[in-house]
Amino acid sequence: RWGYDGERPFVLVPLSVLSSEGPGFALGIERILEILSDRYQIVMSRGRLSGSTEPQTRGNLTVFDWIPSIDEYLQACDLIISRAGHTTILGALVYGKPLVIIPIPDHPEQSGNARRASALGVAEVLTASQLTADSLGSAIDSVLRSPQFTTKATQIREIARSMSGVE
């Protein structure tokens, strides 16, 4: 539907950025993703809720300010790179997608979420201070090449599908 080929992994990066962080974190990630876009097909949201929903495409990198139909991308991607918020992690697992997680520094809830996702075997965790094109590319490759991440995420997806949310 979006014109991506099946030869390169499809990576989704739906960011949520604290206002105190300003645009610096999203801009840094975007620069790193530009470097990595020769290896992957990447869709990124800068997390700007009031921003544009029109994509900007540079080669294999497509950037939105905000993706209104995020569930379609969650379903289609091979891997998700995100912060360590409950909503994104649970969304990834409902679709059986493994993650690379970069928790907000000094945020106990996100640190705990990242540790738990790693312990469940569904995520590699990088700290913001470790974040470089090399470290992110290595984490992506590790998750994509290791079937246990997808297997664990798929197992959790099946558990979630067997439950009645209303009940």
pLDDT tens per residue across span 97-146: 999 999 998 899 999 999 999 999 999 999 999 899 999 999 999 999 99
pTM over 0.85: yes
CA–CA separation, 13 and 75 (whole Å): 13
Amino acid residing at 59:
G
pLDDT tens per residue across span 38-78: 999 999 998 887 788 899 999 899 999 988 888 999 999 99
CA–CA separation, 145 and 78 (whole Å): 11
pLDDT tens per residue across span 81-103: 999 999 999 999 999 999 999 99
Q: Could you tell me which residues come within 8 angstroms of residue 145 by beta carbon, excluding any fewer than 6 positions away?
A: none
